[in-house]
Structure 1
């Protein structure tokens, strides 16, 4: 059953077509990787899905409902959570308080909030740093904190934009394990440049190029696709 879909979704900026008539379907329970060269329209597309960018034309559907004109906070309320390329943590607040801000959208009461916060921080490996100021974290750890903030909302759909950027090899290994764990209960859309991450965790891959879907299929199919190699993988 499809959880998220778009039909004819387009966005132009001052005459430049960033996303052009994209038809996209993400089934419930799938881990989908969205890949493509720089400037392919990936971040714009995600902004359209999340409600941070208004479409020029086309529709976005979530669990069968047309959400094309819902603002971002309304989409969060329906069960969408997302992290973006640029971290949006509150640097002066502790890790605990950053995640608590997200958790309080869903649960009430000190004990319940604390349980959700510490559980989310533990999943991303940051429970031991709960009282540190978020601004003191490395960039990579701020990305992990953002993921914890998303997890605290118990989303039906988790959208991650370049989540492994700035992570060490060991942290990337941990991230892969986290995605495999989350995939049992959460649909995931992953925008990712690290092809080892894509190959290991994605069920299906969508390739964007010049704002349009170039190809879709399994990671192995996309790795072997001559068009994808030419456009993105730098060969062929």
Structure 2
């Protein structure tokens, strides 16, 4: 099986700072991959380059074998890359339904097909448990539900790669349990790349984990391998966090 996503020597400089420094990364189709690391490790900059929001200073990004390094974000969406932001990016003055209808229309050849739009919207909202709030104004949702709405907007694009940046921030324990089930369902049809600080969730959900530190990949492996990695313990997890995870 060929990789879905590959980066080679991916680097991003901000002035004299290397936020991401020569990262080689491979993601296989159908995988749930978590990216972890301390604040400032380069995680969000890395995925921002993958989705096209930030252009690399050096290196290459391949998606399904094609070079997308210089491709604009909207073209990457058409290729099948969807990215949910660390900070919610819903349209607060639109209804929950209309927020999801916008990305659904991008997937349709005939964007005027009301029946197809309606089906796509309800399917996405049902997956995240927000179908009963479809008529609400998005800005009136609780913060955790806004995060779920953003996931629904990503799912509405029918992505091949769904990138989730801190998706459980603001969710209750019960909502996090639902989110775990949701991601596993999504992974039946798509690949998931997840940035997350909730270590118990990461250890429960991820097939493999990539650990960033100071813009570089410090370690990579299964949850069990990462939990017992001495370098990861020293740089990020700490003994207590490792035992808790």
* CA distance in 2 between partners of 1:98 and 1:213 (Å): 36
* 1:234 positional shift: 2.3
Q: For residues 191-210 of structure 1, what are the structure 2 equivalents within 5 Å?
A: 191-210=195-214
- In structure 2, the residue matched to 1:146 is 150
Does residue 1:181 correspond to 2:182, yes or no? no
Does residue 1:156 correspond to 2:160, yes or no? yes
- In structure 2, the residue matched to 1:21 is 22
| 207, 213, 220: which one aligns with 1:216 | 220
Does residue 1:137 correspond to 2:134, yes or no? no
Does residue 1:120 correspond to 2:124, yes or no? yes
Q: Gaps spanning 5+ residues in structure 2: where? A: 241-245
* CA distance in 2 between partners of 1:211 and 1:139 (Å): 30
Q: After superposition, give the CA deviation of every residue in 1:140-184 in whole Å (9 maximum; x if it has no partner).
A: 111100000010111000000000000000000000001111111
* CA distance in 2 between partners of 1:194 and 1:106 (Å): 32
Does residue 1:168 correspond to 2:172, yes or no? yes
- The runs of 4+ residues in structure 1 deviating greater than 6 Å are none
* CA distance in 2 between partners of 1:137 and 1:41 (Å): 30
Does residue 1:6 correspond to 2:7, yes or no? yes
* CA distance in 1 between partners of 2:143 and 2:55 (Å): 29
The alignment of Structure 1 onto Structure 2 pairs a total of residues equal to: 236
* 1:195 positional shift: 1.0
Task: Classify the secondary structure of the residue corresponding to 1:46.
Answer: helix
Does residue 1:231 correspond to 2:235, yes or no? yes
- In structure 1, the residue matched to 2:51 is 50
* CA distance in 2 between partners of 1:135 and 1:182 (Å): 26
Q: After superposition, give the CA deviation of every residue in 1:180-213 in whole Å (9 maximum; x if it has no partner).
A: 1111111000001111211111100000000000
For normalisation by structure 2, the TM-score amounts to 0.95
Does residue 1:61 correspond to 2:65, yes or no? no
* CA distance in 2 between partners of 1:148 and 1:9 (Å): 29
Task: Classify the secondary structure of the residue corresponding to 2:44.
Answer: helix
Q: Gaps spanning 5+ residues in structure 1: where? A: none
* CA distance in 2 between partners of 1:106 and 1:180 (Å): 23
Could you say what the CA RMSD is over the residues aligned between the two structures, in angstroms? Answer: 0.9
* CA distance in 2 between partners of 1:141 and 1:196 (Å): 21
- In structure 1, the residue matched to 2:35 is 34
